[in-house]
Amino acid sequence: MTFVRIMGMGYYLPKKVVTNDDLSKCVDTSDEWIRTRTGIVQRHIAANNEACSDLALQAAKQALTNANIAPEAIDLLIVATVTSDMQFPSTAAILQAKLGLRTIMAFDINAACSGFVYALDVARHFLTNGVYRYALVIGSDKLSAIVNWKDRNTCVLFGDGAGACVLGQSDTNAHCVVDGFLGADGSNPDWLCIPAGGSLQPATATTVANHLHFVSMNGREVFKVAVRRMMEAVRGVLERQKLTIADIQWIVPHQANLRIIQALADELGFPMDRMICNIDQTGNTSAASIPVALAQAEAAGRFHPGERILLVAFGGGLTWGASLIQY
């Protein structure tokens, strides 16, 4: 049987840090409101000339170095993002050239904040089937490029970053991606979206004047559904693997709101000190959120051989998913 091993990880957070106090000078908000309602203290913001593929490039280089794999060995490149450098071509295609990869299959996945978990599962299938030997999977987002910096409902929540992992076929189950459980429900696409700029409402002077090219969100509805759908994903993957939550040592949840993470831990009966959280430092970095938190926790030596780690995400769509990793 072929296992799919995480051979190396990497992450990148832009240098510029914006604190809650900095934001309170631009919009009617406060450090106290942001901390207590979201758990966020600061976020990293990319430079104007740093696009999604540039963030991804830094994370990918680090992952390749940590995996000790040459770029030429990569057979498949997937970038999860909602902030592609351009509407098309894909960020993955752009990154193929920037990384100097062979002319391999490269594509983007748009599953918003669940994008990395989706991408991981797609790559897992390609590797398990023996189609490819090595894959590079990246979550990269520059949310600062698509939020309205005058809208306090959204601008305080997001940050920029990228996280990457190199996957490879393996004969043993150590450091492996074991399974994934994914879902989507598009009945309320407007709960979290950019209303204009697509084929439904192409860009016009009016769409620009009405701020329809920025993230629009119904925070309360998303909050309610997030916990329910993440529970569904966790239960789905545990049931399929005939495990219970007691068999899991760590959860790396999507970093959208500390209160959502706490609610998930409560529902699962899972200790909060085993939930990997970096939201205070990064805010919500969308598709980058889980791989950045995972790569940081690994670099800090928090995981031990034999432990099981669950990744669990939800995002625009709505989409959701969980991945099980055997460390």
Binding residue for ligand UT7, selected from 220, 246, 273, 300, defined by CB under 6 A: 220
For 24, the token pair is: 């309170």
| Binding residue (CB under 6 A) for ligand UT7 from 139, 315, 317, 321 | 315
Contact 166, 135 (CB under 8 A): yes
113 among known catalytic residues:
yes
Q: Which residues contact 285 (CB under 8 A, 6 or more apart)?
A: 43, 44, 141, 143, 158, 159, 160, 161, 255, 292
Q: Which is nearer to ligand UT7, 256 or 264 (CB)?
A: 256
* Residue 37 binding ligand UT7, by CB under 6 A: yes
Q: First and final CA of the chain: distance in angstroms?
A: 18
Nearest alpha-carbon partner for 52 in 27, 82, 30: 82
Compare residues 156 and 177 and give the one whose CB is closer to ligand UT7.
Answer: 156
Q: How far is the CB of 302 from ligand UT7 (least distance, A)?
A: 23
Catalytic-residue membership of 254? yes
Q: Are 82 and 109 in contact (CB under 8 A)?
A: no
- Grouping H, G, I as helix, E, B as strand and the rest as coil, residue 238 is helix
Catalytic one among 113, 155, 193, 277? 113
Question: Hey, which residues between 104 and 163 contact ligand UT7 (CB under 6 A)?
Answer: 113, 152-153, 156
Q: How far apart are CA 214 and CA 205, in angstroms?
A: 14
CB of residue 288 vs ligand UT7: minimum separation in angstroms?
A: 11
What's the closest the beta carbon of residue 279 comes to ligand UT7, in angstroms?
Answer: 10
According to the binding rule CB under 6 A, does residue 284 interact with ligand UT7? yes
Beta strand residue intervals within 158-307, DSSP E? 160-170, 176-184, 192-193, 216-217, 250-253
Marked catalytic residue, from 52, 193, 254, 277? 254
264 binds ligand UT7 (CB under 6 A): no
Q: Per residue in 169-201, is it b (16+ CB within 10 Å) or e — as a string?
A: bbeeeebbbbbbbbbeeeeeeebbbbbbbeeee
> Between residues 122 and 192, which has the closer beta carbon with respect to ligand UT7?
192
Q: Which of 98, 197, 223, 235 binds ligand UT7 (CB under 6 A)?
A: 223
Q: Is 38 in the site for ligand UT7 (CB under 6 A)?
A: yes
Nearer to ligand UT7, 101 or 222 (CB): 222
* Closer to ligand UT7 by Cβ: residue 291 or 315: 315
Q: CA–CA distance from 320 to each of 24, 43, 87, 180, 217 (Å)?
A: 32, 23, 23, 11, 17
Nearer to ligand UT7, 94 or 264 (CB): 264
Residue nearest to ligand UT7 (CB): 219
For 154, the enclosing helix (H) or strand (E) is helix 152-155
Interface with ligand UT7: number of residues (CB under 6 A):
19
Kindly list the residues in this chain that would bind ligand UT7 in the complex (CB under 6 A). 29, 33, 37-38, 113, 152-153, 156, 192, 217, 219-220, 222-223, 226, 256-257, 284, 315
Supply the residues annotated as catalytic: 113, 254, 284
